[in-house]
Amino acid sequence: MIEYKNTQTVINGKKSPLIKRNVPHLVINKEEELIGDKAIKIESINNSTITYNGIVYDAEDVSISRMSSVTALANAKFNKALVDGTAIGDAYAYIYNGINLSWVDANNVTQIVNVEDIVNMLELSLESLSDKIV
């Protein structure tokens, strides 16, 4: 959570007479505190969400990692199905549209989605993240 504090610059161990007022601070842990624009950027990334099919989903680092894992596994299964001789259309229909997963939305309500939905949510999440990093 962002807190706004007054900040005084220290140069060579001496405090500057200038005090910046209401500078955003984000405390990561006891050892790390981000100040200013960096704090606002990290807070924005940590609270990222996307809307897919009218439902809001989390789109921060942990969610992106989970979506990436599902996508990687689906891609591996798709490739294996092709190697085993399954027709491309049949393999895609079964793996990306035929496998349903329980996925928790940003309001902690379980939604039923398929792998193709996860891939689309991952794409939206990465686009959202790239907008925040620039």
Q: Each residue's pLDDT tens digit in the chain (134 positions)?
A: 555 555 555 556 666 555 555 555 555 554 455 555 555 566 666 668 899 999 999 998 889 999 999 999 999 999 999 999 999 999 999 999 999 999 999 999 999 999 999 999 999 999 887 765 55
Termini Cα distance of the chain: 22
- For the whole prediction, is pTM greater than 0.85? no
Residue 82 CB coordination number (10 Å):
14
Please list the helix, strand and coil fractions of the chain in percent, rounded to the nearest 5, in that order.
Answer: 45, 35, 20
Pairing assessment for the beta strands 110-114 and 32-35 based on DSSP bridges: unpaired
The closest alpha carbon to 127, from 51, 26, 43, 41, belongs to 51
- Residues 62-86 have pLDDT tens digits of 899 999 999 999 999 999 999 999 9
Give me 41's structure tokens: 């950027």
In sequence order, the β-bridge partners of residue 112 are 102
